Chain A
Amino acid sequence: MSVVTTGLPAASTQRPRTVLVGTLFASGAALMTYFGLLAIYLFERADARSIGEEWFPEGVVELGPSGFVFWTLILSAFTVQWAVQAIQANDRTNAYVALALTGLFGAAIFNQLWFILNDTGFALAATRGQFLFSVMNGAFIIFLLIAVIFLALTTLRALLGQYGPNQSGGVVAAAMFWNSVAFMYWVTWIAIYINK
């Protein structure tokens, strides 16, 4: 044993940080879960169309409210990257503002999704289309909730002074997960709202 260990310090390594790598894997798992659901949605819709079944009642699922979610997520993707850049430049004021704005956008998206679910008035037990529309929105709300909690913890840690130019992994990881969740909705917007 003594041969492979030594009193000399180990050579430095430049490994990616654990929280970044772990978040990368977790984001992959989250995306696969969500897109697994989306794939089921698309196959059921194709099946319904093939037999002439109505997927959504005419005029109920509108593009406007979901477009607000889409554009809010675009804005939040910018603000979360702003937070990353600011923390790496040790500009803490900008970092706090950017993180707070991202959180605010998150709250706005919850509000918009709640409006969409109430506005459509879909019931789980009505039709396949209404059922799966509710499932997709419910699943997205769960992932968005996880992203908001991750962002809140990161913000708390930033406020406690944990992050800086040489230690920005946590903020980068939170931004990565946030953008993964935003990507979920961008695909959803095209697959469900644009192409009804």
Chain B
Amino acid sequence: MTESPPSQATESITPAPEAGQGLYGWISTSDHKTIGRIWLRVSVLLLLFVVVVGVLLSFERTDAGSVDLFGGDNSYFQMWSMYRLGLVLLVAMPLFVGLATIVVPMQVGSTNIAFPRLALASAWGYVIGAAITVISVLSRGGWGALDGVTSGEADAIALTLIGTGMVLVSIVLGAICVATTVVALRTSGMSLMRVPLFAWSMLVASAVWILTLPIALANVAIIYVDLRGGPLLFGNPEGSTEIYAQLAWLVEQPQIYAVAIPVLGVLGSVVPVVAGVRHSSHNAMVVLISLAGLFAIGGWSQPYFYDNTEFVVFVAFGLLATVPVIAIIGGSAATILAGKSASGLPPVHLMGALGAAVLLFFGTIGGAMRAVEPFGLAGTTVHTGVLNLVALSAVTAAIAGFWFWAPKIGGHLLPAGMGRLVMIDLIGGAFLLGMADVIAGFADAPDLMLSDSNDSLVDLMVIVSVVGAVIVALGVLGTFGSLVKAMRPGGPAPGDDPWDGHTLEWATSSPPPAGNFVETLAKVTSEAPLLDAASARDEGEES
């Protein structure tokens, strides 16, 4: 970490120079926009990979007896755990770290992210860690196996643990940079209550990740040392599901909600802009997002620390997690109703943000039902259903963020027509995929399904989940195509503020210059400084 001069906060960090050209530019830049794009490009590629794995897993489940896409039970388990941990650790969290690395400094009026060299190191740590993880899983590694392994596979499993550890460290370091930017580099007049909701949600999410992911890192470290020095703690960890079991809390409630905290921030940033008015209750949103973060702290719920004595806490977290989500959706609806009525189709970012929030709502409802013992849903496909609803809600919100902040990310507007198709695919597909597993869970379908079911409802839900997985994959392909197309030179200039935005990222050019702001920013007096400026301008013209 580097020390900053102790003068005014807005001047206390060195503006990023223009990034160099080519590979040297990518590995030496201190510009937060270039660093964020490293996170985004790699996480979108990994999203494609993880979604393809998800489709294959769905097909495998349609007829477990005859379909053998993965060549054996061990491979099926490795891909099953790859999908779950990959969707969260390799895709959803990095998507938001990347988006925040680009957008948050501009939202808070800073010239750069805090500790840009640390942010760059974390981005490359993620790239290398993710590459090690994926390659080792494809080499028959992963987070354990169902039925014994060879020595080569044991080495690949150890490599997967190294990759997982690198990704965890990188996400934590990236989160430290984002959180420090929000706390220490806000521009003049921007109190914490005036921080834009996406930046606030990233501060809350980063705090939760900083406090909980190190516990997963401790697990990974101790499993790795046990593998190499023992094994003493886990018996035969490579040849069992024990490694995955120690990390499963990362993809289950309440911890899974931590990945979706920024969904609420994207919604809170998009809705007032589309409605053309201030948020009906900005301060309440700040408190509700903080509550969502509180109920997403789940390090205590891993197998080592969690037993029946904490059952009340588990149920309470499961039920309370629904409250901020419902309240924020309600507040957003009130803002839309209070706003200017617009004709025509809704913009892509509004569709995505609202759809993601609805997915998150169903995810928290599914999680609440899972937490209540009389339903008896523990160990059923409800786990996967909640994971799909919540993690794909995060992915959908991040992609909605791409469409919203595209002028600031890459200096382009993304195509609206394709965007609407993408959002319909992602939201519809994720809903089918997630709800099918939730419903199958009520029919006692086991979470790790490797045998044919005799229940017609479960069979139907397996088919529905295949349809959902394919639709989600089409949405991800559409996103990928739109991003590739937008990266080509020669597209129309997006304008500095195509949406009549309210927050400071829209007060600079598209794409933003090095250092983000050419002129000194005026003192911020509310959570919507550009609306304040427009009001002042209107009053000046009238007088």
Contact = CB atoms under 8 A, between A and B. Distances in A.
A131 interface: yes
B305 A39 contact: yes
A13 B176 CA distance: 22
Contact of A13 (B4, B13, B187, B226): B187
A9 interface: yes
B77 to A, nearest CB: 24
A16 B496 CA distance: 31
Contact of B211 (A22, A32, A124, A169): A32
Contacts of A4: 504, 507, 521-522, 529-530, 532-533
A178 to B, nearest CB: 15
Contacts of B207: 25
A64 B274 CA distance: 67
A27 B398 CA distance: 29
A111 interface: no
A9 B218 contact: no
B124 to A, nearest CB: 18
Interface residues of A, number: 52
Contact of A22 (B12, B176, B225, B496): B176
B172 A5 contact: no
Interface in A1-35: 1-13, 15-23, 25-26, 28-30, 32-34
B280 to A, nearest CB: 23
Contact of A7 (B211, B229, B519, B536): B519
Contacts of A92: none
B532 to A, nearest CB: 8
A124 B217 contact: no
Contact of A28 (B2, B114, B211, B497): B211
A36 interface: yes
B219 A18 contact: no
B296 to A, nearest CB: 15
A22 B180 contact: yes
Contact of B522 (A10, A16, A21, A170): A10
A191 B340 CA distance: 61
A32 B184 contact: no
Contact of B4 (A17, A28, A36, A125): A17
A177 to B, nearest CB: 10
A3 B221 CA distance: 53
A166 interface: yes
Contact of B176 (A29, A33, A135): A29
Interface in B169-208: 172, 175-177, 179-180, 183-189, 206-207
B233 A25 contact: no
Contact of A131 (B179, B232, B533): B232
B315 interface: no
Interface in B199-257: 206-207, 210-215, 217-219, 221-222, 225-226, 229-230, 232-233
A181 to B, nearest CB: 14
Given A4-B530, A5-B521, A10-B521, A131 B215 contact: no
Contacts of A39: 304-305
Contacts of A173: 1
B422 to A, nearest CB: 30
A148 to B, nearest CB: 15
A22 B8 contact: no
B519 A6 contact: yes
A36 B218 contact: yes
Contact of B230 (A17, A33, A36, A131): A131
B8 A37 contact: no
Contact of A124 (B176, B206, B229): B229
Contact of B215 (A6, A36, A157): A36
A32 B180 CA distance: 18
Contacts of A170: 3
B6 interface: yes
B488 interface: no
Contacts of A33: 214-215, 217-218, 221
A150 B115 CA distance: 15
B519 A36 contact: no
Contact of A40 (B2, B212, B222, B534): B222
Given A25-B210, A33-B217, A16 B183 contact: yes
A166 B8 CA distance: 12
Given A17-B12, A21-B180, A39-B304, A10 B215 contact: no
Given A6-B519, A15-B184, A43 B172 contact: no
Contact of A17 (B6, B213, B497): B6
Nearest to A126: B232
A10 B520 contact: yes
A126 B208 CA distance: 37
B2 A30 contact: no
A48 B421 CA distance: 57
A157 B522 CA distance: 34
Given A25-B179, A124-B225, A127-B232, A13 B188 contact: yes
A28 B218 contact: no
B7 to A, nearest CB: 9
Contacts of A11: 188-189, 523
A80 to B, nearest CB: 17
B423 to A, nearest CB: 29
Interface centre among B222, B304, B537 (most CB of A within 10 A): B222
A36 B299 contact: yes
Contacts of A13: 8-10, 186-189
A153 B13 CA distance: 19
Q: In the A-B complex, list the 6 residue pairs whose CB atoms are closest, starting with the nearest.
A: A36-B218, A124-B229, A5-B519, A15-B9, A33-B214, A36-B215
Interface of A: 1-13, 15-23, 25-26, 28-30, 32-34, 36-37, 39-40, 43-44, 124-125, 127-128, 131-132, 135, 138-139, 157, 162, 166-167, 169-170, 173
13 contacts: A10-B521, A15-B186, A18-B185, A21-B179, A33-B217, A36-B217, A36-B218, A40-B222, A40-B304, A131-B225, A135-B222, A138-B225, A167-B5
Given A25-B176, A169-B3, 8 more contacts: A8-B522, A10-B187, A15-B185, A15-B186, A28-B210, A29-B210, A37-B218, A40-B218
